[in-house]
Amino acid sequence: MSRHTHVVESNGYSRGPLIDSVRPYPDAIRFALNRLNGASFWAYSLWRAPAGTDFLEDIPLSDEYVQSAGTAQAMTVEVRMLDAKGTAHQYVVGKPGDQPVGAPTEVIHWDDGRHSATVYPNEVFTADEAADVFSAYLQTDRVPESYTLRELDLTR
């Protein structure tokens, strides 16, 4: 049985346990997010592994996670949570403060420009800002209440 409780994933395919043997967990998260360049490294996700996961046998996915995409200078952060009925809801995370009005205007690109998301200005994060959200999620499996959540329509 592994002592690791969280899984990280890069670019949607490279997955492994979050480890603290090189640097503490918050520093490891910050380091990884600061490597996002929108081309060779453009996405990062974090979720809790089920208790007793043997990472040598399997690296499980989860219905709940926090993820980012973009570059270290401009990325979007999303969180996916299950409600009491087990239905998944995905949200764009926004920094604390005033709620924007009108349509989102800021475009975040990743995967060499093959993908993008249009978000509000308060939903554009630097790597260091996003690292604070990821580190809080690591501790609580939630985004701090001071941040805003805008639900995405996943029916498309």
What angle in degrees, to the nearest 10, is found between the helix axes of 127-140 and 25-34?
140
Cα(20)–Cα(1) distance, integer angstroms:
17
pTM passes above 0.85: yes
Cα(39)–Cα(42) distance, integer angstroms:
6
Max intra-chain CA distance, the chain: 50
Q: Are 142 and 124 in contact (CB under 8 A)?
A: no
SS3 assignment, position 90:
strand
Give 3's strand partners: none
pLDDT in tens, the chain (156 residues): 334 577 887 877 677 778 777 789 899 999 999 999 999 999 999 998 877 777 777 777 889 999 999 999 999 999 999 999 999 999 999 999 878 889 999 999 999 999 999 999 999 999 999 999 999 999 999 999 999 999 998 776
Domain positions in the chain: 6-151
